[in-house]
Amino acid sequence: MAPETNQHRLPTDTDTGMLLVISGPSGAGKTTITRAVERAMPGAVFSVSATTRAKTDADVDGVDYHFVSEEQFQQMVERDEFLEYAGVYGKRYGTPRAWVFEQLRRGRLVILEIDVQGAKIVKGKVPEMFSVFILPPSEEELLRRLRSRKREDEQKIQRRFAAAKQEILDAERSGVYDRFIVNNVLEASITEAIGAVQAELNRRSRRG
């Protein structure tokens, strides 16, 4: 849950919030940066996706994801409850549409941590979204980080590594991302991400 201090309205003079999409391959530091942006920005809320992937010990149900069965996910698709949904590593992930639009209507900064496929779909539906892609400093460093998480066996790590390289290519070609941030030193990357979001909010509020 977002802390109480994050619950006030954005300092904009319109009723419309901003949709912020953050993507990046696993191991790039995306989740840490996303959560730091959420804590730092007034009025920020994190969109909790539904997923069919298994919950790990690091996950909190309802905070990181809503963990649902294949059947539940399919029902949500059929009821048209997702702003976008995609398959990632054979599992399904989806963004709750009604919640996102309700938060935007309240003037919030709504943060989606989603993959490139999802970002492309959201761009088609909400072209005014602001999007950031987090890059690892190098391929070698990405592989080292994936291994150091000790979350998976080597075969899965290699699969994520190949997928990560592909995702970076897709992101660069997509034309969807406003900013690419190379996460070399975490604290500096957090500052850069917060600065980029703040600059965009300022730009929009000046524009009126």
| Region from 111-119, 140-148, 172-180, 192-200 binding ligand 5GP, contact rule CB under 6 A | 111-119
Minimum CB separation from ligand 5GP for residue 18, in Å? 18
Where in 28-57 is the site for ligand 5GP (CB under 6 A)?
Answer: 49, 53
Q: Binder to ligand 5GP among 6, 10, 21, 26 (CB under 6 A)?
A: 26
95 makes contact with ligand 5GP (CB under 6 A):
yes
DSSP one-letter code for 62: T
Q: Which is nearer to ligand 5GP, 93 or 177 (CB)?
A: 93
Q: Which is nearer to ligand 5GP, 11 or 87 (CB)?
A: 87
193 makes contact with ligand 5GP (CB under 6 A):
no
Q: Which is nearer to ligand 5GP, 93 or 161 (CB)?
A: 93
Burial status of residue 206 (CB atoms within 10 A of its CB: 0-12, 13-18, 19 or more)? exposed
157 makes contact with ligand 5GP (CB under 6 A):
no
Minimum CB separation from ligand 5GP for residue 64, in Å? 7
Give the number of other Cβ atoms within 10 Å of residue 107's Cβ: 18
Which of 119, 121, 109, 73 has its CA nearest to residue 93?
A: 73
115 makes contact with ligand 5GP (CB under 6 A):
yes
Which of 108, 132, 128 has its CA nearest to residue 12?
A: 108
% helix, strand, coil for the chain, step of 5:
45, 20, 35
147 makes contact with ligand 5GP (CB under 6 A):
no
- Give CA 20 to chain center in angstroms: 8
The answer to whether the beta carbons of residues 2 and 46 sit under 8 Å apart is: yes
Minimum CB separation from ligand 5GP for residue 115, in Å? 4
| Region from 3-11, 84-92, 137-145, 190-198 binding ligand 5GP, contact rule CB under 6 A | 84-92
Minimum CB separation from ligand 5GP for residue 181, in Å? 15
Provide the token pair at 5. Answer: 């201090």
Exposure on the CB side of residue 45, measured as CA atoms within 13 A: 23
The total number of residues written for the chain in this structure: 208
Exposure on the CB side of residue 137, measured as CA atoms within 13 A: 10
86 makes contact with ligand 5GP (CB under 6 A):
yes
Which of 118, 99, 117, 109 has its CA nearest to residue 10?
A: 109
Residue ranges in contact with ligand 5GP by CB under 6 A: 26, 49, 53, 84, 86, 88, 93-95, 113-115, 117-118
